[in-house]
């Protein structure tokens, strides 16, 4: 199908882009989710603001002393191939590598994937497990940036907290001695995952993010607490993980891809495998 009629603008300044968003325009980055949804008419924006020419938006992945900052226009491919990401956050590189095909990874942006907020979006799951911080701004903020913890960012099925704000970058803390593993299950290669998990472990703290079982990407805090008490163990049974999932509060997804019970069982198995992978040293580039 073709998209419905819409107005298109491609401003060069951040101020113009923010003004367009305030007036109701929807940001367009790589277009790998938005354009597809428009063609299916599941999204019908009447106005689009293309952010690719905005001079103040970065397409860089900047490595500072304590943080890595991913600019709004940095793509999945850049992330997957970045030496620091491969060395210090190999689970992120893996999550990026498993998105679609090379054309999609060349065009699609990391922040676009998060802003789309699909419950199974690879970067959303992998970055949720890293406690990333999103920087966003709007016309009313006089140039200042709001820092939004990613755990507060997702508000429901394909919805986020931004409102009239534009996401400018996402920041990750560089923490030595951190290991992690990203694992997904798809019906076929290049498909959006049916269920995906990311486990990140440092000292005695484990973060577990899961996609595909709830309306939005979620953290399994109850299971994280259990692991803090017990430590990472390959003896943790899928049934124990399943119980922790069932004890968590979220709106379950039951759809054409499977029942909520099936997806929760799948998630438990993937979490078990990701924990085992972390015990064996985690993902490697």
Ligand X SMILES: Cc1cc2nc3c(=O)[nH]c(=O)nc-3n(C[C@H](O)[C@H](O)[C@H](O)COP(=O)(O)OP(=O)(O)OC[C@H]3O[C@@H](n4cnc5c(N)ncnc54)[C@H](O)[C@@H]3O)c2cc1C
Binding stretches for ligand X (CB under 6 A): 26-34, 36, 72, 99-100, 104, 108-109, 111-113, 115-116, 121-122, 162, 166-167, 190, 192
Closest CB to ligand X among residues 96, 227: 96
Q: How far is the CB of 6 from ligand X (least distance, A)?
A: 12
Closest CB to ligand X among residues 116, 182: 116
Rounded Cα distance, 73 and 241, in Å: 37
- Find the Cα–Cα–Cα–Cα dihedral 88, 91, 93, 99, rounded to 10°: -170
Closest CB to ligand X among residues 123, 227: 123
Closest CB to ligand X among residues 35, 226: 35
Q: How far is the CB of 229 from ligand X (least distance, A)?
A: 32
**Hey, what are 23's tokens?**
């007036």
Closest CB to ligand X among residues 3, 31: 31
Q: How far is the CB of 222 from ligand X (least distance, A)?
A: 25
Query: What Rg, from alpha-carbon coordinates, does the chain have?
Result: 19
C-alpha torsion sign, points 39, 43, 46, 48: negative
Rounded Cα distance, 153 and 128, in Å: 10
Q: How far is the CB of 43 from ligand X (least distance, A)?
A: 7
Closest CB to ligand X among residues 215, 222: 215
Closest CB to ligand X among residues 211, 244: 211
Q: How far is the CB of 27 from ligand X (least distance, A)?
A: 4
Closest CB to ligand X among residues 76, 242: 76
The total number of residues written for the chain in this structure: 285
What is the helix, strand, coil percentage profile of the chain, to 5?
Answer: 35, 25, 40
Q: What angle (nearest 5°) sits at the alpha carbon of residue 46, between those of residues 144 and 141?
A: 10
Q: 48 to each of 27, 31, 42, 121, 236, how far by Cα in Å? A: 6, 11, 15, 22, 48
Q: How far is the CB of 54 from ligand X (least distance, A)?
A: 9
Which residue in the shown chain puts its C-beta closest to ligand X? 108
Q: Is 47:41 a contact under the CB 8 Å cutoff?
A: no
Q: Is 172:274 a contact under the CB 8 Å cutoff?
A: no
Q: How far is the CB of 240 from ligand X (least distance, A)?
A: 28
Q: 144 to each of 91, 135, 136, 139, how far by Cα in Å? A: 31, 10, 9, 10
CB under 8 Å to 19, separation ≥6 — which residues? Answer: 139
Q: How far is the CB of 129 from ligand X (least distance, A)?
A: 14
């Amino acid at each position: 199908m073709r998209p419905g009629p819409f107005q298109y603008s491609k401003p060069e300044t951040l101020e113009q882009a923010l003004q367009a968003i305030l007036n109701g325009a929807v940001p367009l980055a790589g277009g790998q989710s938005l354009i597809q949804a428009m063609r299916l008419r599941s999204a019908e924006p009447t106005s689009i603001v293309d952010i690719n020419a905005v001079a103040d938006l970065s397409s860089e992945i900047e490595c500072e002393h304590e943080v890595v900052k991913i600019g709004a226009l940095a793509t999945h491919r850049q992330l997957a191939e970045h030496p620091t990401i491969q060395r210090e956050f190999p689970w992120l590189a893996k999550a990026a590598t498993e998105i679609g095909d090379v054309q999609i990874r060349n065009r699609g942006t990391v922040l676009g994937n998060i802003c789309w907020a699909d419950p199974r979006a690879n970067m959303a799951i992998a970055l949720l497990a890293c406690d990333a911080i999103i920087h966003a701004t709007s016309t009313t903020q006089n140039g200042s940036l709001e820092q939004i913890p990613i755990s507060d960012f997702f508000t429901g099925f394909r919805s986020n907290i931004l409102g009239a704000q534009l996401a400018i970058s996402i920041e990750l803390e560089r923490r030595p001695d951190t290991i992690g593993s990203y694992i997904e299950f798809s019906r076929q290669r290049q498909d959006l995952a049916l269920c995906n998990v990311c486990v990140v472990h440092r000292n005695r703290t484990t973060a577990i993010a899961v996609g595909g079982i709830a309306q939005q990407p979620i953290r399994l805090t109850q299971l994280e607490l259990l692991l803090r008490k017990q430590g990472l163990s390959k003896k943790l049974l899928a049934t124990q993980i399943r119980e922790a999932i069932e004890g968590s509060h979220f709106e379950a997804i039951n759809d054409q891809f499977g029942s909520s019970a099936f997806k929760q069982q799948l998630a438990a198995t993937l979490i078990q495998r990701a924990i085992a992978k972390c015990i064996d040293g985690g993902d490697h580039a």
